[in-house]
Amino acid sequence: MKQLLTTIIICFIAITALAQSIKISGEVAAPTELKLADMAQYPQTEVSRKDRDGKDHKYTGVLLSTILQKAGATLGKDLKGENLTKYITVEASDGYQVLFALAELDKDFTDRQIILATKIDGQPLALADGPFRIIVEGEKKPARCIKQVTAIKVAFAK
């Protein structure tokens, strides 16, 4: 019985997750809509951090810089000059928004990894957190580990 229930719940999560996507827009060469299925094509990165339960968890996902570079954001060798005044806003399904400077995401600038996670301890994220969640390695407050991400926008600070 319990197993059946779990299966139903997992199916339910899977259906919801499939329907959801992230809109990537703004100062990018190729605006896209990223689906959960698209994530498998990228190298997977693991980041550990404590959740609200106070315990360490292993989050798996794709480096935000990889996804943004694929969409044509000016990272890597293009991240200089006026491009250093660029930032991204990440929006959640409840309307909550957080911001990162583009340079915070670039591995030529920092070793701190910021990923778009899809799994926690090898399992899909909980409904209330997923299907996509940003995980910021080593950041003390959880406020920018934004849950239920629906949109990422690249912009110039004006």
Instruction: Please report, as ranges, the residues that interact with another protein according to CB under 8 A.
Output: 12, 15-16, 19-20, 52, 93-96, 127-129, 147-148
Of 52 and 141, the one with the shorter C-beta distance to another protein is 52
| Ramachandran area for residue 112 (φ above 0: left; ψ -120 to 50: alpha; else beta) | beta
**Contact indicator for 143, 78 with CB cutoff of 8 Å:** no
Of 52 and 158, the one with the shorter C-beta distance to another protein is 52
- Gap between the terminal Cα atoms of the chain: 58
Of 86 and 133, the one with the shorter C-beta distance to another protein is 133
Residue 147: CB atoms within 10 A of its CB come to: 18
Of 17 and 64, the one with the shorter C-beta distance to another protein is 17
From CA 75, how far away is CA 34, in angstroms rounded?
Answer: 19
Minimum Å gap between C-beta 151 and another protein is: 13
Minimum Å gap between C-beta 101 and another protein is: 18
Residue 5: burial class (beta carbons within 10 Å; 0-12, 13-18, 19+): exposed
Minimum Å gap between C-beta 61 and another protein is: 19
Minimum Å gap between C-beta 16 and another protein is: 5
